[in-house]
């Protein structure tokens, strides 16, 4: 017979540990509290020791990991708060609401810090669009994100979408939010000051998503379809009111701390706030405003009803809190007070229903470092040599097929459903390397991006993890921004499998190395394990969200070719690196080979050179060379600029390698002839290879390699292929 | 030929923000005697089927597959021979 | 001269409109909270975009009962200038200040991108800085901008020159492809018979500064200022 | 107490984009025997009214004022005593 704690997802070892911590057996309510707090989703029990390897410090960091969002300084007493979070499992079951509530949750994490959200991004992974179920998921997720973000009035300015069979049953939906604040308004999720009231504000509590956190910590199986109540319905209108009310409240100075009631609801917000404040809390569940009748204390505690916050105001400010919320048509109820006994005491009216040390739920959770073993598949994938493939004859056709593959094709079908302009700060919207937002009232701009090539991570998680960081930074640099810091969302399979844990450790190590070198500490993040369907894991997908600063927004850059006659240069160097390329994946159906290598010194030099060139106004366009290699990068610059190009490369490499190799640390730039000399001099200073590729001209995409024309495609044709591909697939 | 009239509603217990908004608005219009407002979808379609049983079977299938999302919604329908 | 920007719970573009009037046009402007019934003292009222009351039930259906709408109606009846943008347009329709109704986009998707509009009537208080036939680039961002008017109403609109903007190609042709949402006769914006109430789906406040990629939207706000400076007369 | 079940549909003759899309999707799922799909709204509410006549009167009023837009929509409703 399975024991109650086992049904709740706790092991015998963990149950005994609970008894040890309490000095007695837990009652049902207490056991429920432990079960959600000690779930993977809330406790990070399999990842904590590994996450400690991330560099987290820097002069720009105002708040590192451990809070609802990370915060970095952007000068003038201003800062940005940002975080990314996964909503993979709910989205696999109910794509529209799953994705929508993911957006809602991450927005709350940012405005609890006292920041006004200024931008949303998302990073999405799906199976092949040839499947009906995938089309349904893709459509649902995109419209869910669109609905929530548009309705609440925060622009969705960027993100990424990849398609790969490993995500067929387990799509990834990672949402990121960026907010702007004044240093003085920075708020933390802490409860302190004995006797200060504890208030529940926002939506009423229903039986939504009880045990949702546990659900997010399990593999998906056919039975998951049965776990229906775990999916919640979002109310962006309520959240908009909550956002305005919370920001008004913070400005009033009446607040000590606040936190959203997200995963594991009232339990997690109360014990985490008490832990951070070194305090305790007594809460009466009978005072929590409810939407449904007859709820048990544990249901009130575990409910994941959306659009709710826990607020600790200063004593005597209860009425002020109520008035501010009433103005926005919202409820605010005093449900308890802060104590100094370190206990989380739960009352149901007069009756005590639970009493647990707050830190027992948080810090005392057992931490595991499972066995890590290099997966066997890597032998095969690494042994693959692209040279074994038949030689390409029709490069035009290969290029067009790459442009038409959904991973590379234009994502306009997605982002035209997002209001990316609301609040009129979006200076560079979706579709470029990074989005750029102006900071009204200053000359500054903030650039944001999310990146991860999970195919590289599958083939070599260390290198793949490092590349994710490098690519994100490169994207910011191409827009003219200095990279500041990282938020990460680590999506992996079941960590109890040694191969998965190995991938996890390797990826984090690779990311850490790149973060260290590029000076971009990790300030917030999220881990999502158990991304498997019927035993098959997704590709390791450590998504990197990065924020950068443009001191003077006039010195920004975009990827489109600007003017006929401009010269095209390549910063960095192309190598024979077809392993892990989209060329192999799309044309030959091979997810194999060794991914491109990353030389962090060269990467830093290329980024430094490009950024300086942009600041000096030397270059007209800059575009990171990524999936699809140089040929695709040139096509993208040409299409977005609606100007053709004529390129000639002499090289020891084969034409296939020149065109489609995905060597890292490369940026395609264009310059006016007057600036050519200075660019070359600058590249010399930075010790960065800078190779002339050709000229912006005509209405075709022409590429010659060693004197032979290998690509010649009318720009219109390339553009239509690239622009229409996803819409066509969805038919 | 049958005419199917299908109602799709959020499951009991699932938050219905739209219903809540309509209820508040009705109260603001001084219909204080109104409560428990729920908002759902209504669909009508014409179906060429051999008999009522076959029609019923098909409509149920369409609801499960497309018209309702069984994760959060319930559906009911009526069939009228036309 | 004073502008008032009406704020409903769920308005999102209130700050954007205010920014343009205040920072770009340098004109006085206040917010007006939806529970305010008195709108005296203003020369032009703006109903901004967003999702008033979450757009639940039907867009604009709940907002039109806000206390402020009584004031807006009176203000419009007395000849005051009212401009409803996106959600604001939808509210004006629900309130009956403009004819017709709004349906879901015929592609069933929310759409956010630039559109080209042909100016059909350049004699309104909102279009004085434009000329008839001119094409302006102004973005849309809506899921329900599919304007509907029955035949009779449409004939009436056309006859009175109430159609102010139509979705067009960059060259000014009115084609099906240029219509982003299925609107009757490519209609993007209309005025009431008296000409003092404009409703439009595209967002002029989003393209009133060069840094945002275009300044055509500014023409509308400048036209209003011109009109008010002339004391409410066409020249 | 009465339970009102209200259906709101686009008027006949007003093109129904949602109905059209659902019909196309059903055909794609090979329900070729389906036609004339229309999509509307369904609402339920509880009403405290003296008698059926009063309830009817009130629901009609609510529909006219708020629940339906007479320019493009028609409504019908049923009342069940509860
Ligand atoms: N991969 C990671 N890298 C850095 N910090 C992380 C990572 N994952 C989680 N964190 C930090 O751990 C804390 C708990 O995160 P999380 O449980 O996702 O928050 P929430 O309570 O909003 O769900 C946060 O401060 C987060 O920034
Ligand atoms: Mg949080």
pLDDT digits (tens, 9 = 90+) for C31-87: 999 999 999 999 999 999 999 999 999 999 999 999 999 999 999 999 999 999 999
DSSP collapsed to 3 states, A411-476: CHHHHCCCCCCCCCCEEECECECCEEEECCCCCCEEEEEEECCHHHHHHCHHHHHHHHHHHHHHHH
C205 is catalytic: yes
**The predicted structure's pLDDT at residue A225:** 42
Q: What is the mean pLDDT of residues A492-517?
A: 97
Nearest atom in ligand 1 to A105's CA: 22
Q: Token pair of A348, please?
A: 């149901």
DSSP C211: G
pLDDT band with cut points at 50, 70 and 90 for residue A219: low
For chain C, give the mean pLDDT.
Answer: 96
Query: Residue A478 and residue C218: Cα distance in Å, rounded?
Result: 31
Nearest CB to D17 within list C61, C101, C108? C108
On whether the CB atoms of residues C182 and C67 are closer than 8 A, the answer is: no
The residue whose C-alpha atom lies closest to atom 22 belonging to ligand 1 is A68
Q: For residue range A227-277, what is the model confidence (pLDDT) as tens digits?
A: 445 678 899 999 999 999 999 999 999 999 999 998 889 999 999 999 999
Compute the residue count for chain D.
Answer: 82
Contact list, B72 vs chain A (CB under 8 Å): 94, 97, 228, 231, 233
pLDDT-derived band at A224 (thresholds 50, 70, 90) equals very low
Q: Are D74 and D8 in contact (CB under 8 A)?
A: yes
Query: Coil, helix or strand for A409?
Result: coil
For residue A527 and ligand 1, the question of a CB distance below 6 A is answered with yes
Looking at the 3D structure of chain C, how many domains does it have?
A: 1
d(CA C158, CA C124): 14
Cβ contacts of A235 on chain B, cutoff 8 Å: 15, 17
* CA A558 to mean position of chain CA atoms: 22
Position A226 scores a pLDDT of: 43
Token pair 């409860």: residue: A191
The predicted pLDDT at position A390 comes to 85
The CA–CA distances, whole Å, from A466 to A111, A451, A597, A642, B22 equal 30, 11, 10, 33, 51
Q: Which domain holds residue C151?
A: 3-229
CATH number at residue C82: 3.40.50.880
pLDDT of residue A227: 42
pLDDT (average), residues A654-665: 97
Ligand located closest to A268 CA: 1
Secondary element (H or E) of residue A178: strand A172-182
D18 in reach of chain C (CB within 8 A): yes
Which one of A248, A419, A726 makes the best mutation probe of the C interface by having the most chain C beta carbons within 10 Å?
A419
Alpha-carbon torsion, ordered A579, A581, A586, A592, to 10 deg:
30
Host H or E run for residue C99: none
Q: Is any ligand 1 atom within 6 A of the Cβ of residue A553?
A: no
What region does A649 belong to: left with phi over 0, alpha with psi -120 to 50, or beta? beta
Residue D30 to chain C, least CA–CA distance (Å): 22
Q: Six-digit token pair at B7?
A: 């109602």
Residue A104: CB atoms within 10 A of its CB come to: 27
**Residue A612 CB burial class (10 angstroms; 0-12, 13-18, ≥19):** middle
Angle between helices A629-641 and A395-404 (to 10 degrees): 70
User: D6 touching B, CB under 8 A?
Assistant: no
Distance CA B55, CA B48 (A): 8
> What phi and psi, each to the nearest 5 degrees, are found at residue C11?
-65, 135
Structural domain contains residue C234: no
The first and second tokens of residue A585, run together, are: 């994946």
Give one DSSP letter per residue of A232-290, joined into a string: ----HHHHHHHHHHHHHHHHTT-EEEEEE--TTHHHHHHHHHHHHHT-EEEEEGGGS-B
The H-or-E segment that residue B8 falls in is: strand B2-10
> Is any atom of ligand 1 closer than 6 Å to the C-beta of A486?
no
- In ligand 1, which atom is closest to the CA atom of A508? 1
Helix (H) or strand (E) holding A588: helix A588-588
| A85 close to ligand 1 (CB < 6 Angstrom) | yes
Identify the active-site residue in C86, C94, C142, C144.
Answer: C86
pLDDT score at A25: 94
CB B77 within 8 A of CB B5: yes
Is residue C121 predicted with pLDDT exceeding 90?
A: yes
- Indicate whether A360 pLDDT > 70: yes
Does the pLDDT at position A303 exceed 70? yes
In the residue annotation, A41 being an active-site residue is answered as: yes
Give A465-483 pLDDT, tens digit per residue. 999 999 999 999 999 999 9
C-alpha A242 chain-centroid distance: 23
Asked if C129 contacts C204 with a C-beta cutoff of 8 angstroms, the reply is no
Give the span between the Cα atoms of D44 and C4, in whole angstroms: 38
Beta bridge partners of D77: D6
Non-local CB neighbours of A686 within 8 Å, separated by 6+ positions: A605, A606, A608, A609, A612
A126 Cβ neighbours under 8 A, 6+ residues apart: A134, A137, A138, A141, A161, A162, A163, A167, A168, A171
**Residues in CB range of C108: below 8 A, 6 or more apart:** D17, D18, D21
Q: What pLDDT is attached to residue A220?
A: 56
Mean local confidence (pLDDT), A520-529:
97
Interval A403-447: pLDDT, tens: 999 999 999 999 999 999 999 999 999 999 999 999 999 999 999
CB of A66 closer than 6 angstroms to any ligand 1 atom: yes
Cβ-based interface (< 8 Å): residues of C facing B: 53-54, 56-57, 61-62, 65
List the helix and strand counts (H, then E) for chain B.
Answer: 2, 3
- From B69's Cα to the closest Cα of chain A, the distance in A is 8
In this structure, what are the phi and psi dihedrals at residue C204, rounded to the nearest 5 degrees?
-65, -25
Q: Which ranges in C134-234 belong to alpha helices (H)?
A: 151-159, 216-229
E strands, A566-613, are 567-571
Q: Which residue from A37, A87, A264, A526 has its CB within 8 A of the most atoms of ligand 1, so it is best to mutate?
A: A526
CA distance A438 to A621: 19
DSSP string, A472-502: HHHHHHHTTPEEEEEEEEEE-S-TTSHHHHH
* Among A94, A207, A291, beta carbon nearest to B72: A94
Q: Are A52 and A179 in contact (CB under 8 A)?
A: no
**Residue A520 pLDDT class (50, 70, 90 cuts):** very high
What is the tens place of the pLDDT at every residue in B41-78? Answer: 999 999 999 999 999 999 999 999 999 988 889 999 99
Is C206 in Cβ contact with A421 (below 8 Å)?
yes
> C57 and B21: CB-CB below 8 Å?
yes
Q: How far is the CA of A42 from the centre of ligand 2 (A)?
A: 10
On the 0-12 / 13-18 / 19+ scale of CB atoms within 10 A, A452 is buried
Average pLDDT, chain A: 94
Q: Is A67 in the pocket of ligand 1 (CB under 6 A)?
A: yes
* Closest residue to B37, CB basis, from D25, D29, D43: D43
Asked if the Cβ–Cβ distance from B71 to A94 is below 8 Å, we say yes
Determine the Cα–Cα distance for residues A160 and A448; give it in Å rounded to an integer: 12
pLDDT at position C221 is: 98
Residue A14 has pLDDT above 90, yes or no: yes
Query: Residue A146 belongs to what H/E stretch?
Result: helix A132-152
Confidence of residue A8 (pLDDT cuts 50, 70, 90): confident
Helix axes A318-327, A236-251, angle to 10 degrees: 140
pLDDT given at position A68: 92
Residues from chain B that touch A207, judged by Cβ atoms under 8 A, are: 13
Per-domain residue ranges for chain B?
A: 2-81
Nearest chain D residue to C62, by CA? D66
Q: Cα–chain-centroid distance for residue A708?
A: 42
Determine if ligand 1 sits within 6 Å of the CB of residue A490: yes
Query: Per the domain annotation, does C204 fall within a domain?
Result: yes
Task: Show which subunits contact C, needing at least 3 CB pairs below 8 angstroms.
Answer: A, B, D
Backbone angles phi, psi at C164, to 5 degrees: -100, -40
The pLDDT assigned to A217 comes to 56
What's the gap in Å between the CA of B68 and the closest CA on chain A? 12
For C149-192, the pLDDT digits (tens) are 999 999 999 999 999 999 999 999 999 999 999 999 999 999 99
Ligand 1 in contact with A213 (CB < 6 A)? no
CATH class of residue range D2-81:
alpha beta
> Are C56 and B21 a contacting pair at CB < 8 A?
yes
Chain B positions touching C65 (Cβ under 8 A) are: 25, 28-29
Please indicate if any CB of chain C lies within 8 Å of the CB of B29. Answer: yes
To 10 degrees, what angle do helices A629-641 and A715-730 make? 100
Query: Where does residue A82 rank: exposed (0-12), middle (13-18), buried (19+ CB within 10 A)?
Result: buried
- Rounded to an integer, the average pLDDT of D51-80 is 96
The dihedral through the CA atoms of D38, D44, D47, D53 has a sign that is positive
């Amino acid at each position: 017979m399975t024991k109650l704690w086992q049904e709740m997802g706790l092991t015998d070892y963990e149950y005994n540990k609970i008894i040890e911590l309490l000095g007695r057996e837990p009652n049902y309510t207490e056991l429920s509290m432990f079960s959600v707090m000690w779930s993977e989703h809330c406790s990070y029990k399999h990842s904590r020791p590994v996450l400690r390897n991330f560099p987290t410090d820097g002069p720009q960091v105002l708040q590192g990991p451990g809070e609802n969002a990370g915060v970095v300084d952007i000068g003038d007493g201003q800062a940005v708060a940002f975080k990314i979070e996964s909503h993979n499992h709910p989205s696999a079951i109910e794509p529209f609401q799953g994705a929508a509530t993911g957006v809602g949750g991450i927005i709350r994490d940012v405005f609890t810090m006292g920041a006004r959200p200024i931008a949303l991004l998302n990073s999405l992974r799906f199976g092949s669009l040839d499947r009906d179920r995938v089309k349904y998921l893709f459509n649902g997720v995109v419209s869910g994100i669109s609905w929530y973000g548009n309705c609440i009035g925060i622009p969705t300015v960027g993100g990424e979408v990849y398609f790969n069979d490993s995500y067929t049953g387990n799509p990834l939906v990672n949402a990121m939010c960026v907010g702007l604040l004044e240093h003085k308004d920075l708020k933390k999720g802490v409860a302190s000051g004995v006797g200060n009231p504890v208030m529940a504000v926002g939506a009423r509590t229903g039986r939504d998503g009880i045990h949702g956190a546990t659900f997010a910590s399990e593999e998906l199986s056919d039975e998951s379809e049965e776990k229906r109540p775990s999916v919640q319905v979002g109310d962006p209108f309520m959240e908009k009111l909550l956002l305005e009310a919370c920001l008004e409240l913070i400005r009033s100075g009446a607040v000590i701390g606040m936190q959203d009631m997200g995963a594991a609801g009232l339990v997690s917000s109360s014990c985490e706030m008490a832990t951070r404040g070194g305090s305790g809390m007594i809460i009466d569940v009978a005072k929590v405003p409810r939407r449904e009748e007859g709820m048990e204390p544990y249901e009130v505690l575990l409910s994941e009803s959306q659009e709710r916050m826990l607020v600790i105001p200063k004593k005597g400010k209860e009425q002020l809190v109520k008035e501010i919320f009433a103005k926005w048509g919202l409820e605010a109820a005093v449900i308890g007070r802060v104590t100094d006994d370190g206990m989380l005491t739960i009352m149901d009216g007069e009756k005590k229903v639970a009493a647990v040390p707050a830190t027992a739920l948080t810090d005392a959770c057992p931490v595991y470092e499972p066995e890590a073993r290099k997966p066997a598949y890597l032998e095969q994938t690494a042994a693959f040599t692209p040279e074994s493939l038949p030689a390409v004859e029709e490069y035009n056709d290969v290029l067009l097929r790459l442009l038409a593959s959904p991973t590379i094709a234009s994502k306009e079908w997605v982002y035209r459903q997002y209001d990316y302009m609301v609040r009129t700060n979006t200076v560079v919207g979706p579709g470029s390397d990074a989005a750029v937002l102006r900071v009204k009232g200053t000359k500054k701009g903030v650039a944001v991006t999310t990146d991860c090539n999970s195919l590289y991570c599958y083939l070599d998680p260390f290198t793949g993890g490092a590349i994710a960081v490098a690519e994100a930074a490169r994207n910011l640099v191409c827009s003219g921004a200095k990279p500041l810091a990282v938020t990460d969302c680590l999506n992996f399979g079941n960590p109890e499998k040694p191969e998965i844990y190995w991938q996890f450790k390797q990826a984090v190590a690779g990311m850490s190395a790149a973060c260290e070198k590029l000076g971009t500490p990790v300030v917030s993040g999220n881990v999502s394990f158990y991304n498997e369907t019927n035993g098959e894991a997704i590709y390791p997908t450590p998504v990197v969200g990065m924020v950068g600063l443009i001191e003077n927004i006039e010195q920004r850059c975009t990827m489109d070719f600007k003017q006929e006659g401009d010269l095209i240069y390549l910063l960095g160097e192309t190598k024979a690196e077809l392993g892990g390329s989209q060329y192999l994946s799309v044309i030959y159906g091979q997810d194999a080979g060794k991914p491109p290598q990353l030389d962090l010194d060269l990467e830093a030099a290329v980024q430094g050179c490009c950024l300086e060139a942009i600041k000096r106004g030397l270059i007209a366009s800059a575009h990171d060379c990524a999936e699809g290699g140089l040929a695709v990068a040139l096509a993208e610059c040409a299409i977005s600029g609606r100007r053709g190009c004529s390129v000639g490369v002499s090289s020891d490499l084969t034409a296939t390698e020149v065109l489609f190799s995905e060597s890292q640390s490369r940026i395609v730039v264009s310059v006016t002839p007057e600036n050519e000399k200075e660019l070359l001099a600058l590249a010399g200073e930075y010790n960065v290879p800078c190779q002339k590729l050709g000229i912006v001209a005509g209405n075709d995409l022409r590429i010659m390699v060693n004197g032979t024309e290998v690509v010649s495609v009318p720009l219109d044709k390339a553009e239509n292929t690239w622009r229409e591909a996803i819409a066509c697939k969805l038919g | 030929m049958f005419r199917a009239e299908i109602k799709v509603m959020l499951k009991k217990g699932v938050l219905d923000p739209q219903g809540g908004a309509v209820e508040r608005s009705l109260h603001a219009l001084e219909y204080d005697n109104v409560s428990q407002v729920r908002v759902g979808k209504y669909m009508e379609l014409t179906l060429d089927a051999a008999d009522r049983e076959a029609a019923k079977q098909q409509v149920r299938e369409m609801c499960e597959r497309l018209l309702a999302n069984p994760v959060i919604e319930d559906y009911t329908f009526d069939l009228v021979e036309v | 001269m004073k502008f008032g920007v009406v704020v409903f719970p769920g308005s999102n573009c209130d700050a954007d409109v205010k920014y343009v009037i205040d920072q770009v046009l340098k004109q006085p402007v206040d917010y007006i909270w939806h529970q305010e019934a008195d709108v005296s003292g203003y020369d032009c009222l703006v109903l901004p975009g967003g999702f008033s009351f979450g757009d639940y039930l039907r867009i604009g259906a709940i907002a039109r009962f806000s206390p402020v709408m009584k004031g807006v109606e009176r203000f419009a009846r007395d000849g005051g200038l009212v401009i409803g943008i996106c959600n604001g347009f939808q509210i004006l329709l629900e309130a009956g200040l403009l004819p017709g109704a709004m349906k879901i986009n015929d592609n069933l998707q929310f759409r956010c991108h630039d559109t080209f509009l042909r100016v059909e009537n350049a004699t309104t208080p909102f279009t004085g800085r434009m000329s008839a036939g001119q094409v302006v680039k102004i973005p849309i961002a809506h899921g329900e901008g599919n304007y509907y008017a029955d035949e009779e109403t449409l004939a009436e609109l056309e006859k009175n020159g109430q159609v102010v903007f139509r979705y067009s190609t960059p060259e000014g042709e009115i084609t099906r492809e240029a219509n982003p949402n299925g609107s009757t006769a490519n209609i993007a914006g209309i005025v009431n018979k008296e000409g003092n109430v404009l409703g439009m789906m595209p967002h002029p406040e989003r393209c009133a500064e060069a840094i945002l990629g275009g300044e055509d939207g500014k023409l509308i706000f400048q036209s209003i200022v011109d009109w008010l400076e002339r004391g409410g007369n066409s020249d």
